């Protein structure tokens, strides 16, 4: 089970890592958890790969938990946080 | 002539070296000898499935060991391959019929007759009982077609082009001569294997005994850190992304991390050089990696020409795409358009295209009119100035090459894309896609002034229309390769482009 503190820490890390790969400046706190990352933030497929690689490294999640199809299904920040949460061992 | 390249690959057990296949699940490592053995089993099994020399098998799948095995098995049978990029093609009966595919191997759900789950190849490749069946020796002549490759055209049906064994042989030799890949090297491939050039690095490993890593696109950044390659085969957009990531890492680390350390954290600590091509690279990006201690070499070539020029450790010049490779000749027409003549052309026509496409591109001897504008300097380095399509002819007869002007505009952080039009042959009008919403019009106006300040009167931009919303793939104003679609953009902004009152006016 997730500790109560895991989700907020993961969400913060996800916001920071997503903001870091976007080509235009947007504050991590201004990102909409439910927005489609490709449509709303022009997240390219390569930037998505990089974002998830960096986020997994920062949160101690082994990328091997996911398949290429799992990654494809992660469309919003909330999708990402919920997918990583069961495997997360630490926050950012 | 191909006996030392494709001939050796199909007939001779390779030397030392490994292939690593990386996916999100991890990395699988095989010796090249084991790869060769398994490809022989797949070849024998394909024969049993009725595949004969000259037949064509299709592969529509993400990068995988099975992809590599099928490609090598086809070479050993003298069968053709057709590599289809997932997402651009679907494994349908129509695809199988249109391209004359005998068997289509795919990792996507498919029910069409002739479609085979690529997973079957995994099982076949491990069947030792297939080792005893003899394979008939094959010879690849210079004009034999080994594979059909497809252009990643921005619109319409992709064009299909049969690649000759002679052109592959010529490119493999030329690249080896300048980069001397060998034991100790590990070449990293993550772009789709449906692009023939990505398979060259597997052929190179088999010929020269070095390692090669084939990664899925999704696992690329994770695999880079795991396998620590010596060479990365990329494209400018990939390196731009990596550059931003290195810069972000440095910002997070504060003063404690050099650019070299941050770059090694992304690419591993064994990089000998980075390869880029397929699209123009920004000089700022090339400089960044070189200064970080990761030399990056840009080249030039089209699907229709294969690799024509390449910068390399022994001969490179800033701003150029390198010197012409052996077996290639660059001809600059009176109109400044680059044509390429090859000792062994990729082909002299498309196998699949609209009527007239082949005649527009190929001369009778296979000389390719590239449509790019360029010049050779006194030492034979080629400089590409833009596409011939990008030339605007003003009413005073002066030709304006728009790409350098657009590049200047795009160098501003507030601007994601810029395309120029000349509605009345008298003034250049830019349509600018902002990097953020709302658009920073002040920054765009400042960049407009800066761009104009260093240009002759005919090359100055009169007005800039700010696109709202910004160009995207979804709204049809960017191609799947993130290139602006000029015609479509002009359709959408036609009224604004033609209205002299519209936009941010240059001062």
CA–CA min distance B134, chain A (Å):
38
Structural domain ending residue among the three candidates B170, B204, B238: B204
Average pLDDT rounded to a whole number, residues B142-147:
96
Q: Rounded to whole angstroms, what are the CA distances from B35 to B71, B453, B497?
A: 12, 59, 58
Q: Which residues of B touch A71 (CB under 8 A)?
A: 24, 218
Q: Do A68 and B62 count as a contact with CB atoms less than 8 A apart?
A: yes
Token representation of residue B92: 């349908």
The confidence band for A2, taking pLDDT boundaries of 50, 70 and 90, is very low
Nearest to B24 among A39, A54, A68 (CB): A68
| B283 lies in some domain | no
Nearest to A50 among B24, B245, B252 (CB): B245
What per-residue confidence (pLDDT) applies to B409? 94
What per-residue confidence (pLDDT) applies to B381? 97
What per-residue confidence (pLDDT) applies to B397? 63
pLDDT, tens digit, for every residue of A46-90?
888 899 999 998 899 998 899 888 988 999 999 999 999 999 875
* DSSP symbols for A50-73: HHHHHHHHHHT--GGGS-HHHHHH
What per-residue confidence (pLDDT) applies to B359? 93
Q: Which residues of A touch B217 (CB under 8 A)?
A: 45-46, 49
Average pLDDT rounded to a whole number, residues B36-41:
97
Average pLDDT rounded to a whole number, residues B165-184:
96
Q: Is the pLDDT of residue B335 over 70?
A: yes
Structural domain ending residue among the three candidates B204, B230, B263: B204
Query: HEC profile for B84-138?
Result: ECECCECCCHHHHHHCCCCEEEECCCCCCCCEEECHHHHHHHCCHHHHHCCCCCC
B459 versus B290: which is more confidently predicted? B290
Q: Is the pLDDT of residue B155 over 70?
A: no
- Residue B472 phi/psi, 5-degree rounding, is -150, 165
Inter-residue contact B132 to B49 (CB < 8 Å): no
The confidence band for B152, taking pLDDT boundaries of 50, 70 and 90, is low
Q: Is the pLDDT of residue B64 over 80?
A: yes
Average pLDDT rounded to a whole number, residues B276-288:
89
Q: How remote is the C-alpha of B322 from its chain's centroid? A: 17
What does the mean pLDDT of chain B come to? 91
Q: Which residues of A touch B238 (CB under 8 A)?
A: 46
| B105 lies in some domain | yes
Say which residue the tokens 């700010």 belong to.
Answer: B466
The confidence band for B425, taking pLDDT boundaries of 50, 70 and 90, is low
Average pLDDT rounded to a whole number, residues B447-469:
91
Structural domain ending residue among the three candidates B176, B204, B232: B204
Q: Do B245 and A64 count as a contact with CB atoms less than 8 A apart?
A: no
What per-residue confidence (pLDDT) applies to A5? 52
| B324 lies in some domain | no
Q: How many domains is chain B built from? A: 2
Q: Do A20 and B219 count as a contact with CB atoms less than 8 A apart?
A: no
ipTM: 0.81
| B66 lies in some domain | yes
Q: How remote is the C-alpha of B230 from its chain's centroid? A: 19
What per-residue confidence (pLDDT) applies to B379? 97
The confidence band for B196, taking pLDDT boundaries of 50, 70 and 90, is very high
Average pLDDT rounded to a whole number, residues B385-390:
76
Q: Is the pLDDT of residue B496 over 90?
A: yes
Name which of A17, A24, A25, A60 to mutate to probe chain B: the one with the most chain B Cβ atoms within 10 A of its Cβ.
Answer: A24
User: Exposed, middle or buried by CB within 10 Å (0-12, 13-18, 19+), for B228?
Assistant: middle
Q: Is the pLDDT of residue B481 over 80?
A: no
Inter-residue contact B24 to B218 (CB < 8 Å): yes
pLDDT, tens digit, for every residue of B395-404?
666 678 888 8
**Where in the sequence is the domain holding B16, given as residue range(s)?**
2-204
Name which of A50, A61, A69 to mutate to probe chain B: the one with the most chain B Cβ atoms within 10 A of its Cβ.
Answer: A50
Q: Is the pLDDT of residue B232 over 60?
A: yes
Q: What's the CA gap between B42 and B71, in Å, rounded?
A: 10
Q: Do B222 and A66 count as a contact with CB atoms less than 8 A apart?
A: no
Percent of chain B with pLDDT over 70: 96
B430 versus B88: which is more confidently predicted? B430
| B389 lies in some domain | no
pLDDT, tens digit, for every residue of B343-383?
999 999 999 998 888 998 999 888 999 989 899 999 999 99
The confidence band for B478, taking pLDDT boundaries of 50, 70 and 90, is confident
| B179 lies in some domain | yes
Q: What's the CA gap between B141 and B434, in Å, rounded?
A: 52
| B443 lies in some domain | yes
Which stretch of A14-28, B281-295, B386-400 has the lowest confidence by average pLDDT?
Answer: B386-400
Say which residue the tokens 């005998």 belong to.
Answer: B102
- Residue B315 phi/psi, 5-degree rounding, is -155, 100
What per-residue confidence (pLDDT) applies to B156? 55
Could you count the other beta carbons within 10 Å of the beta carbon of residue B373? 23
Q: B187-220 b/e with 16+ CB inside 10 Å = b?
A: bbbbbbbbbbbbbbbbbbbbbbbbbbbbbbbbbb
Q: Is the pLDDT of residue B473 over 60?
A: yes
Q: Is the pLDDT of residue A91 over 70?
A: no
Q: Do A39 and B245 count as a contact with CB atoms less than 8 A apart?
A: no
Token representation of residue B325: 């490779």
DSSP A33: T
Please enumerate in sequence order all residues whose Cβ is within 8 A of that of A72, keeping only pairs 6 or more positions apart, or say none: none
CATH number of the domain bearing residue B472: 3.30.300.30
The confidence band for B165, taking pLDDT boundaries of 50, 70 and 90, is very high
What per-residue confidence (pLDDT) applies to B31? 98
| B252 lies in some domain | no
> Which domains are seen in chain A, by residue range?
6-87 (1.10.1200.10)
């Amino acid at each position: 089970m997730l500790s109560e503190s895991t989700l907020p820490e993961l969400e913060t890390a996800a916001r920071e890592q997503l903001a870091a790969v976007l080509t235009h400046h947007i504050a991590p706190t201004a990102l909409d958890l439910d927005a489609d990352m490709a449509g709303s933030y022009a997240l390219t497929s390569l930037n998505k790969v990089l974002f998830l690689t960096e986020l997994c490294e920062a949160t101690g999640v082994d990328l091997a938990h996911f398949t290429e199809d799992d990654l494809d299904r992660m469309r919003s920040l909330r999708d990402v946080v919920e997918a990583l949460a069961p495997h997360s061992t630490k926050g950012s | 002539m191909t006996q030392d390249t494709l001939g050796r690959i199909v007939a001779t057990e390779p030397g030392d070296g490994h292939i690593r296949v990386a996916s999100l699940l991890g990395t699988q490592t095989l010796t090249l000898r084991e790869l060769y053995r398994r490809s022989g089993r797949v070849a024998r099994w394909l024969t049993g499935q009725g595949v004969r020399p000259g037949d064509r098998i299709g592969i529509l799948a993400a990068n995988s060991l099975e992809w590599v095995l099928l490609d090598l098995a086809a070479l050993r049978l003298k069968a053709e391959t057709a590599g289809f990029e997932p997402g651009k093609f679907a494994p349908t009966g129509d695809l199988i019929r249109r391209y004359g595919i005998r068997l289509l191997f795919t990792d996507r759900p498919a029910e069409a007759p002739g479609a085979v789950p690529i997973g079957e190849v995994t099982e076949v490749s491990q069947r030792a009982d297939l080792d005893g069946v003899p394979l008939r020796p094959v010879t690849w002549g210079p004009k034999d077609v080994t594979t059909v490759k497809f252009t990643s055209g921005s619109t319409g049906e992709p064009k299909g082009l049969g690649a000759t064994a002679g052109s592959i042989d010529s490119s493999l030799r030329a690249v080896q001569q300048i980069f001397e890949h060998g034991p100790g090297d590990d070449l990293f491939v993550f772009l789709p294997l449906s692009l023939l050039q990505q398979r060259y690095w597997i052929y190179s490993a088999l010929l020269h005994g070095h390692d090669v890593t084939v990664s899925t696109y999704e696992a690329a950044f994770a695999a880079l850190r795991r396998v620590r390659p010596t060479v990365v085969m990329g494209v400018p957009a990939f390196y731009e992304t990596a550059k931003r990531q290195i810069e972000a890492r440095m910002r997070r680390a504060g003063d404690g991390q050099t650019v070299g350390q941050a770059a090694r954290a992304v690419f591993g600590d064994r990089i000998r050089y980075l390869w880029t091509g397929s699209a123009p690279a920004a000089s700022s990006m090339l400089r960044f990696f070189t200064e970080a201690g990761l030399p990056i070499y840009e080249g030039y070539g089209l699907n229709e020409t294969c690799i024509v020029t390449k910068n390399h450790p022994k001969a490179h010049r800033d701003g150029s795409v390198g010197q012409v490779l052996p077996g290639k000749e660059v001809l600059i027409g009176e109109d400044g358009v680059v044509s390429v003549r090859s000792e062994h052309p990729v082909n002299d026509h498309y196998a699949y295209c609209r009527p007239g496409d082949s005649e527009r591109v190929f001369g009778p001897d296979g000389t390719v009119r590239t449509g790019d504008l360029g010049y050779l300097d006194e030492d034979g380095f080629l400089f590409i100035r833009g596409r011939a399509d990008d030339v605007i002819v003003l009413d005073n007869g002066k030709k304006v090459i728009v790409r350098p002007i657009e590049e200047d505009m795009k160098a501003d952080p507030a601007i994601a894309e810029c395309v120029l039009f000349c509605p009345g042959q008298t003034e250049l009008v830019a349509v600018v896609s902002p990097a953020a919403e709302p658009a920073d019009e002040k920054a765009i106006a400042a960049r407009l002034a800066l761009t104009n300040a260093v240009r002759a009167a005919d090359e100055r931009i009169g007005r800039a229309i700010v696109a709202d919303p910004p160009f995207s793939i979804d709204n049809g104003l960017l191609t799947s390769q993130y290139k602006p679609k000029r015609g479509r953009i002009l359709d959408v902004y036609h009224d604004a482009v033609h209205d002299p009152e519209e936009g941010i006016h240059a001062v």
